[in-house]
Amino acid sequence: MHTMQSLIASQPTETMASITIRNLDQETKDRLRIRAARRRRSMEDEARNILREALAGDAATPGNLAASIAARFEPLGGVDLELPPREPMRDPPALPE
């Protein structure tokens, strides 16, 4: 028969990091406390969720820059730019030996 301690000890443990936020202004702390209370969470849990949500989009791999810019301006009607015609490359300068 397994005891509760042996069951807990046999479970893989995941180490959790911790951070300390210094010099947090009182207004921000009060807003976090109110937001946490509205969601029935502790301030610590609410701060974890805010960080998780804020950083969730960062994990995505960067896409095509031109497509990202076009998508950003599309709600405003988009932007059509005239591209100048391409010209042949110039010869590199001759360097003195």
Contact partners, residue 29, CB within 8 Å, separation at least 6: 43
For residue 46, the tally of other CB atoms under 10 A from its CB is 19
Residues in the chain: 97
Asked if residue 46 is part of any domain, the answer here is: yes
Asked if residue 36 is part of any domain, the answer here is: yes
pLDDT tens-digit readout, 13-56: 678 889 999 999 999 999 999 999 999 999 999 999 999 988 88
Number of structural domains the chain divides into = 1
Determine the structural domain holding residue 34 and report its residue range: 24-54
Asked if residue 67 is part of any domain, the answer here is: no
Asked if residue 43 is part of any domain, the answer here is: yes
pLDDT tens-digit readout, 54-95: 888 766 666 788 888 888 888 888 777 788 888 899 999 999
